[in-house]
Amino acid sequence: MVSPDELVKLDLRSLATRLSGGSPARSELGTQEWLAVVQLLTADIMHDAAGLSREDWTLVARAYDYAVDTAIAAGDFDHREKTYRALHLSSDLLGQVPPNPDVELLDPHRMTDVLIRELPMPVEQARALAKRWMTLERSEILRLRIAKDFLRPGLKLAHRAYGEQLPEPLKSWEDVFPSLP
């Protein structure tokens, strides 16, 4: 049985090695403890990013995927939260380290694909709803806010991937972004 205190004491490589090997098992930690593991791992990745080798990144990416997927299975957050966290982490990491097409979090093209795939509605619908967002049902406003939350880091990633000439639908999303609630 692994305690959260043991995990906190590990350096990033040791923590990533354990997690990528499937330890601890989902049942060994509670729901809130899995959230803490994701937050610990994310903070360690951000802190040590510049010093990681290509091999380290492969290990760290597997550990991150395991921690997040296990936290979802434990019921602490959902797929939307996973996407939100990944977009933000990727955007922040790419401010510190060069892109790496072998690691999804470090590949702005792949992360832009994640953004497009996970946006909660087509851009045309978002544009139409944004014009009258104050009259919408709460659930529709929430969908627009989710889109904006995804776009904030996602558009930065898109510009890293494509430069100033964004392809569609990214250009349209960039145009509608300021009008989202």
Task: With H, G, I as helix, E, B as strand and everything else as coil, classify residue 24.
Answer: coil
Interatomic CA distance for residues 28 and 114, integer angstroms: 31
pLDDT, the chain, mean: 96
pLDDT category, 2, cuts 50, 70, 90?
confident
Interatomic CA distance for residues 146 and 149, integer angstroms: 5
Looking at residue 5, its pLDDT comes to 86
Looking at residue 41, its pLDDT comes to 98
Summarize pLDDT for 101-126 with one digit per residue, the tens: 999 999 999 999 999 999 999 999 99
Looking at residue 76, its pLDDT comes to 77
Interatomic CA distance for residues 177 and 127, integer angstroms: 9
* Of 19, 35, 154, the residue nearest 94 (C-alpha): 154
Q: What string of H, E and C letters represents the secondary structure of 106-138?
A: HCHHHHHHHHHHHCCCCHHHHHHHHCCHHHCCH
Interatomic CA distance for residues 131 and 19, integer angstroms: 45
Tell me the average pLDDT across 18-25. 96
Q: What is the pTM of this model?
A: 0.94
